Amino acid sequence: MEKMIMNHMELVRGVTEVNMNKIPEEIWDFIPYGFNNNIRWNFGHIAYVQEKIVFALLGESMGIPKEYEQFFSPGTKPAEWDKTPPSFEEISQVLSEQKGRIKEFLQGRLEEKLPTPYTNKGGITFNTVGEMFLFSFYHEASHIETIKRLQRAISSK
């Protein structure tokens, strides 16, 4: 089962990376009417949240630049950025390298209980590493859909 779950993570992240490479970087920072965030924020947010779910909730240090928290954590917005955000290349590299670190770190740990049950903003409580990790696929896919909606809104102008 673990191998199948890791293969699914590779599949989901592959979809993310394909979408990332299809979208011209020059439209990454537009925020169309009706949206709070841009394409750059969504890709960075995927990386940040995955890191938090896999590493931080288990008490491990996150292997992404510290600045990702101020740019991409839940509740942040590009309108509030006071520094230059990570580039396309930086975010792409983080997303790509994250896969291998996750596979290595989670090997044999999916059934492990979280140090403290975690309840997300939607009110869903997770008790094991595997439950959190599986939910992260849904999270990533929902942001890919948002990215596609952003791209359509930008292209329609």
Confidence of residue 122 (pLDDT cuts 50, 70, 90): confident
DSSP β-bridge partners for residue 126: 118
The three-state secondary structure class of 102 is helix
User: The domain that contains 91 carries what CATH number?
Assistant: 1.20.120.450
Could you give the percent of the chain with pLDDT greater than 90?
Answer: 92
What is the pLDDT confidence band of residue 157, given thresholds at 50, 70 and 90?
low
| pTM of the complete model beyond 0.75 | yes
Average pLDDT estimate for 31-45: 96
Radius of gyration of the chain (CA): 16
Instruction: Report the C-alpha gap between 126 and 130 in whole angstroms.
Output: 9
Q: What is the mean pLDDT of residues 48-73?
A: 94
- DSSP letter for 78, please: G
Q: Give residue 67's pLDDT.
A: 96
Which amino acid, residue 81?
Answer: W
Question: Alpha-carbon distance 112 to 60, whole Å?
Answer: 14
If one counts the domains in the chain, the total is: 1
**Full domain range(s) for residue 71:** 2-155
